[in-house]
Structure 1
């Protein structure tokens, strides 16, 4: 029965979020209640849903209704905008597609000839858009220090100043702007100017600039309002009807209003704004206090030493959850950022997850370096955006990163756990900066600036490769299937502290040489900065300088050693940074036959690149767990559990190595495909397609590939691969129907082989039978194409005969491969009789491997952990002299090829990709 309504009783349409039934007076609700309560008395859902529905529609039926087209208006967005206005002390609110879209809408109120006053510490995207308007829109922009209200006075001009753009706190230096004072000054001196505030850093929970005289406020709602980084959105709020009308017109005209679904997500995110920010700024205060206590220069308005803390507390309700600090050394900052685990390296802020970044490299990289320097934006600045994780874990992770990077060290005082490392004390900041600025000049003068001693030996290995299918056809668009072969190149870096760099390439013309670091052509180097990638083309100036000025005359008769030496020195020099040039010896050896088309150069490139990246501290591998307490008598210490090195090298480390190994391959081969070095680094198997022929270039790993036993035979017949490839091209032009038919058949074989190799349901026997049949079919096509060889046919005939019955294929420059589990020693002997070298190995195994066998000599048979902590120069726990270090190198250089792999495996726990 419907209730009876007495017409004499006055019905109150209570403002949100008051319940509709009680009539007794209530005190204003607190902000967290306003956030969690989403009610709009002017928009009632017909079904009484407790969550605002998503009106996922582009159009609405009817004429003259409230809504007709979602670009102009949508009920879900209307609920969101009503809610945002409510928590922002605003009469009007608009939701658009991003924070920058919000600023774009606001700036469209400007016209040519207008002048804008903006801060000198702005978000990079804001600076970029203002620069565009300045260049293309006829708008004059004055960047001033808005933290001093009087600095705006010379630029405030009645009738000319159309807009004042403020941020407080600024991003990323957390400077405080007195919004109330500046607003009053502007209203007095240029009443028509619109005062705009970017409130993203604070959100409406901690700061509502409209209450302090601002005309328009905008937030990147991607940040705190949403809180989860799962949508892009921007919101604009204001109390002036005229400005609201202008902005509504622009949004409707441009069509950048927020979509219904994103409006729903943002509305949901705002409900937890208060509780999220309470946790985040509480943890941020703990982080800031820790860093400040260690002696770093910390920018955070919650700290007592912040110069404008009193102003911030007058206009805001909390310090927020973003802070930044400097280390005095950009390279150290980069190491800190790279060493964190919980703190994700990312631009943006406001997420429930904690983020870390270097603004000058990331969010503010679009600002010219000279402009950044002029505005006092330090290149070594680290920005921390604190999330809702447990603060104990966040502090521990950051502490470990600082320790690993060398920014802090164990304290001698038992009452203090860590202290800031002396290299980064404030008294040394200027000298470090001068040293870095003078690096290029000092290099040209031959002044060596060497880092602290590196007493670890780094032992690296990388596999070769075979092309299983698609050989001689990949250049014509056929997919090639490549796999690692467990014959490997090994590289050993042994420390030396005499200002020299030496190499021995045992299997590359047995080349050895030693350089004085100061004698290398440093004047020709344009270093690639930390975190940056090598340009697409080689630095020919550096290549030529190394070739003409660094190599001994005798190397002219050793062409393979020459390009290997150039590649090694090129990586060493171009990766050097911060004035530091480690002194060491690099010895390489290979169990791969050289020049057999099995990726020996790629495995060498991977070993060399990894070694140099480690010594220049551009990559790192997991260290020993850091101490959580001071050791005491009877303390068992950390117990290491081996995980057999599976997936121990992080993907981002492998990717960095692969990029630089590819650079070395460019020097060695001119225009490599990238297949060989990718297999050497990542191992396993991959499918590669060359760009062109209607296809995009790409390399895809074959997941689930099973490692297979393999008998590799070196035919010892040099073959000109380029000539063979050119021959196939000539035949394709002469006999297009025949060759194109063969290429299509080989593509079908590659596709079928890829499916077989990735099929988890095939038994090993089934896989071998399938692959063998495909090998036979594939080889017949290669013979027709004319790329086989009498030696290979002889090997094939021998292995196909009874009792062996093996399938043989071309793998590189004349080798033969055999898929079979059983290793036939009599077959190996028979092949040896015919002057062919056979190698028992496998395909599809591990990729790049790293071992640091420090301390192995002191305790024979002990198993080292990879890698150990760098020993403290004052520590007496480890004492390994140069004789001990040389012993490993001597042993490495004297092992036979047959002994090398087993000896290396027994040294300790290898980390593999």
Structure 2
């Protein structure tokens, strides 16, 4: 290679296979170019012969060279050992130019210095943590615009490609750690058609040049962390860059020389030595990786490895690569179980990185990808329970034995009853599911097995929204948040169909309606959760993908699409006994959608409750019938609406909350669980997650005093994930400032909890204390950068005379909703004036109270006959006959035969909805 001392000089092109073959050549039998393993083992540079004929490239361990006008003068600019290495790397990479720098991240740094402010970069959504960190820095500090997209779908990047603006497309294939496959060739061709000046950059670390050479498929620049496979021994840090374009090579040579991050002579010597065995190491590692992947797949774990026949990107990978690599990952369904497995291994070293002769095991979300904000990880579909295996060159039998023993010790597998040498997975896997489905089908068709009674009732459910009173954003980093329910609610109604179809209508999401043939749903992808069992910690990505690709309407907008996904996922996961109930589900809300008041959580609770009832997995306890007919003096049992009493048993509430949390994961990726818990249990609670030196968990705030609040929807849409990620970036950049704010907010939450739970604190003193804490909390949120001009306008309006009220944002900020504490003594005339002023400014205020009931279910029991209104849900009685002592409708007919409530429910205006719902009988509440 020509050294980088003169970046303006034209760099000579070196062919990928320029090593001379032995002479003389016969014209009848010309020699073929050497194959890859020969190229690896043979370090030759025809333009640089060692004067002593050394068989190994010498280490020129010198910083300077004597003389004037020579080829080398200073090792930062060029060194013979590095020149040999760079020539060798270019040769095995099908490249004209090669560069060696101090690390893989240094290589990416050199490449991204080709960008300028205002340039746009398109990259994947499953990236190495360090890559994500550097791109975040460029976005926040250098004015570079970064688009994260799902690059596994080659067409998904097209909307982001703009001629004159798109400067770089950054790809990884396979991705780390989910082993997603990217069609490098198609993306490169498509991008060049739309934006010819865009540079296609590929991180090839997972494959190495032995397995994949992206320059042959349209890439402009390829880089590797040579710390991994090229070195192979984890005894050095290095990065390499290759390209075929002279202009890009000149620019990068200039940067390397100017910055001074070129690889040192001794590390160049070590890297040259490592590359000689690249082919033989990778052959062994890939063969063993395939055995490990097959073993885990056979046990029923979800395995990510392109060598498996069921990998979704296998065909594309086989088209652009020569092997499958030696990294794989798998999920267990339980983070704690994964941690036990990793800790139980002996031969697999617990470490970040990969590509070494020694096998390694890690949990990316805890280790290599921990620098990515948890909310961002969740948004990109990175499971917290994911285990990554990096296979070395040890004996395959020893590696398999060690992993099998770790799985057994952790409780993930057990010894098969029929063969003491075989292991079976403790958790339900594919083979067991197939068997259980067959058993269920046989049982369902067996006349001796009782069939569940047909559900003809209209189940009516509801759940409240929430406000976070204190601790927004800080809760993500381990600070305690205080949240409470509001008396704005989401409502759900099921109506029986019995025609083999399932349908939904989400009135508040652009009046979305869709129906499905139940038998046409992707049942082959579902692993039902057994009755009495619990859903794993992670969602079943296989089922998510199947529903997304095969069941959801393609033209649906994102919110109704996400709601449909959550609904279908729960419907299919709850199936049991061969029963697939056919019904319609309508959801309506008095909550403003997307304003940060927990509307998605209240929907999740309604949907989960309805589905658990329809699948007959929860059942309200029966009410004993009176011993004789009711009379005026002895009317029998009468339901009383919630007045501080729990009418829905705790075990039912807890089951609903577990499934609502599953729905929230589908909607938000990595939710805290606060929203759905408030929507189920009502009242107020304090929530702490791990990470701030306090014990994680939720605790109800007993004795919570009902408070009046004015909720004001700014009508400004928010990007919650971006806001949460932005605070994470600020914390990384200014840890002292942000940690100080977090400690201050923790103190605010602690003081608020004491005030709210103090029975001796007067009402006046409570409101005064909360008012001051609201102002203080909001000031900290402004410093974190999550407020918005609309929220500040609402705050200024409510703080002005004559109102003088305290206001803060709630939820993620960046728009959304503001909460204003309204004292008991606040004059109603002033309140009406304030509401009118906010409406004139195009805001939407809602007067509400905080701390009320949680989950509600309309009583399934009939009312005494003297009550004028009958419940929607008819009595739980066999053969539609009434229990003694209970009357149904006035004409003594069942509700099932009366006109369904669906049409009335869907047509009522939002302002009428709450009163209309309450008029239909006694509601049971948590």
Alignment TM-score, normalising by the size of structure 2? 0.48
